[in-house]
Amino acid sequence: MGDRADAREPLPPPSPPRPVAPQPARPDTAWREHAACRGHKHPDLWYGGPDRPNSLWPGRSDYTANINEAIAICRTCPVRNPCLAHALAHDEQGVWGGLTEDERKKAPDP
């Protein structure tokens, strides 16, 4: 039996690992699962504005009331800070982290 084992050719060396294309970094958005606005029955509260009429409440044209309601909800949100950081990093529209687009534009850089 020893002859058969000795007669085998040695295995070739292992191949080097194939290069893997770098994957783009994915932003950490797990905080969204805990957002106070998540699943809200009126998501347009956060996106209203004079140029974006309120489609859910045709009789409620006062977008300021909508924005104020969204901001009040944001004030209770446990993930307000990462939400605001996301909005600042991605130039989001609407209310994010308790600030409107105009307020975020005026905010100092983090």
45 annotated to a ligand binding site: no
Is 44 assigned to a binding site? no
Residue 21 CB contacts under 8 Å (≥ 6 apart), including other chains: none
The answer to the question of whether 77 is labelled as a binding residue is yes
Residue 76 CB partners (closer than 8 Å, separation 6+): 36
- Contacts of the segment 5-11: beta carbons below 8 A, 24+ positions apart: none
Residue 99 to residues 28, 53, 57, 82, 109, Cα–Cα distance (Å): 20, 19, 22, 13, 14
Is residue 79 annotated as involved in ligand binding? no
Indicate the annotated binding residues. 37, 74, 77, 83
**Annotated binding-site members for [4Fe-4S] cluster:** 37, 74, 77, 83
